[in-house]
Structure 1
Amino acid sequence: MNALASVGHNNPPDPIEEICGQYESWRIEAENWLDGSPVETESQMNAVDELRQSMREWRLKLEAGQKSATAPLYDAYKAEGARWKPTIEDAKRIEAGLVSVVNGFKQKLAAEKAEAERQARAEADRKMREAQEAAARANAADIEAQRAAAAAQHEAEIAAAQAAKAGKDRVKGLRTVTRYEVTDHRSLLNFIARNDRDAITAFIDDWARRNHTTTQNADGLRVWQEKEAF
């Protein structure tokens, strides 16, 4: 192999540049037409249509080149994903099964802890009221009354600490989720219409977009046809 032949022989031409090179003159001519001025004569229209066909061929060749270049990568991506998927899915099944196994007990335990917290807070509130009442009744000159009030206050503080501790005793692996159920579609629709008109408008616009060809006689909907270039 001579020196000239060896230069760049390991670097084949880039397919994008190769395809673009085939249509470069048409691309430049097409850009000359795109100066913001519309077509005004039939001859101009024919010239633009011819360029449009060339640009379409350019685009199709680019898309074919893209598909050819990316197909092996995409196939490898899919194959590797498929190789991992069964094991991942099995791990998910096992994880979900374990969650299901403990769900009922965790809910029961959480309810018990919530009730214990409620009782502890109720007891703390009761003792705090008693301490406040004892302090209000105690004569500053009566040492025994003052001692009793102080003892009641101390018990109230202990009860408050116990209630706070109970409030922190949570069951791990439980979360609060918000669920919903539509009990009356008509009532909910009326509520949305009164309070969220944008949502109703968005729904109507989307419905018209999806159904305007099959339900052209719907009240409040106008459907027509017109010609446009493509």
Structure 2
Amino acid sequence: MNDLTPGIGHNAPPDPIDTITATYEAEREEAANWTDGTPVENEAQMNEVDALRKAMRQWRLDLERGQKDATAPLRAVYQAELDRWKPTIEDAKRIEGCLVATVDAFKKRLAEEKRAAERAAWEAAEKARREAEAKAQAAADLEAQREAEAARQAAIDAEKAAQAARKDQVKGMRTVTRYEITDHKALLHWIAKNDREAVTAFIEAWAQKNHKANENADGLRVWTEKEAF
């Protein structure tokens, strides 16, 4: 093998980014001379900058077109794989949803029963605690002290039972917060009073989207002016 033998990768196709960019190399170099922050001072300079701007725009459009051409096959493969998995995933979600619906009513009823049991356990613990305190205060002889100790232990056992009832939850349930707007006007006034930033953000987004069609809206000023592009 001699020095003229091509190296590994010599058959690789040229990078389309480099190919497209090379077409505009002269304009890119000239544009660098005009982008140092110094504004143009006469019409001739303006025309030259506009021509460069047009060339750079075309460079960008060519790059975007090349990017789209290069990624289209990848997107097609990606989308095809998504579509291939989607029906089975949707069927699994459908079955899961049906199973959740099947046990929903029973789980809600059971959860309410457990909450009631927990409330009763804590009420019993509180009652036992009060009784233990009363017996302790009245423990003047040996037998009374024994009763007070027994009451104290009963209060401890009752609290443990209440703690266990708190931990005994129905699995597969979660707490969700729901809402209903009962008076739109009242809510709007409340938001305006308590969350002015949210109202301001909505107004600004609305104006940005609708200012052309509602240029005479109260509190809105719409005008036109020229700018470079």
TM-score normalized by the length of structure 2: 0.95
Amino acid at match of 1:128: R
1:36 aligns with: 37
Unaligned runs of 5+ in 1: none
Distance 2:215 2:4 in 1: 69
1:97 aligns with: 98
Q: Could you tell me how far 1:40 is from its partner in structure 2? A: 2.1
Unaligned runs of 5+ in 2: none
Amino acid at match of 1:168: K
**Paired residue secondary structure (1:205):** helix
Distance 1:39 1:87 in 2: 62
Distance 1:195 1:219 in 2: 23
1:65 aligns with: 66
Distance 1:211 1:222 in 2: 12
Amino acid at match of 1:72: P
Q: Could you tell me how far 1:95 is from its partner in structure 2? A: 0.8
1:124 aligns with: 125
2:182 aligns with: 183
Distance 1:41 1:128 in 2: 93
What whole-Å deviation, never above 9, does each CA across 1:42-95 have from its counterpart, x for those lacking one? 111111111111111111111111111111111100111111111111111111
Distance 2:148 2:187 in 1: 57
2:158 matches 1:159: yes
**Aligned alpha-carbon RMSD (Å):** 1.6
- The count of corresponding residues between Structure 1 and Structure 2 is 227
TM-score normalized by the length of structure 1: 0.94
Q: Could you tell me how far 1:145 is from its partner in structure 2? A: 0.9
2:213 aligns with: 214
2:20 matches 1:53: no
2:77 matches 1:76: yes
Distance 2:123 2:21 in 1: 80
Q: Could you tell me how far 1:6 is from its partner in structure 2? A: 5.1
**Paired residue secondary structure (2:223):** coil
Amino acid at match of 2:147: A
What percentage of residue pairs aligned between the two structures are identical?
A: 60
Q: Could you tell me how far 1:146 is from its partner in structure 2? A: 0.8
Distance 1:68 1:193 in 2: 49
1:10 aligns with: 11
Amino acid at match of 1:102: V
Amino acid at match of 2:71: T
What whole-Å deviation, never above 9, does each CA across 1:123-155 have from its counterpart, x for those lacking one? 11101101100111111xx11111111111111
1:195 aligns with: 194
What whole-Å deviation, never above 9, does each CA across 1:187-228 have from its counterpart, x for those lacking one? 211111112111111111111111100001011100000111
Q: Could you tell me how far 1:9 is from its partner in structure 2? A: 4.0
**Paired residue secondary structure (1:106):** helix
**Paired residue secondary structure (1:153):** helix
Q: Could you tell me how far 1:17 is from its partner in structure 2? A: 0.8
1:149 aligns with: 148
Q: Could you tell me how far 1:166 is from its partner in structure 2? A: 0.8
Distance 1:137 1:5 in 2: 108
What whole-Å deviation, never above 9, does each CA across 1:157-191 have from its counterpart, x for those lacking one? 11111111111100000011111111111221111
Distance 2:54 2:142 in 1: 106
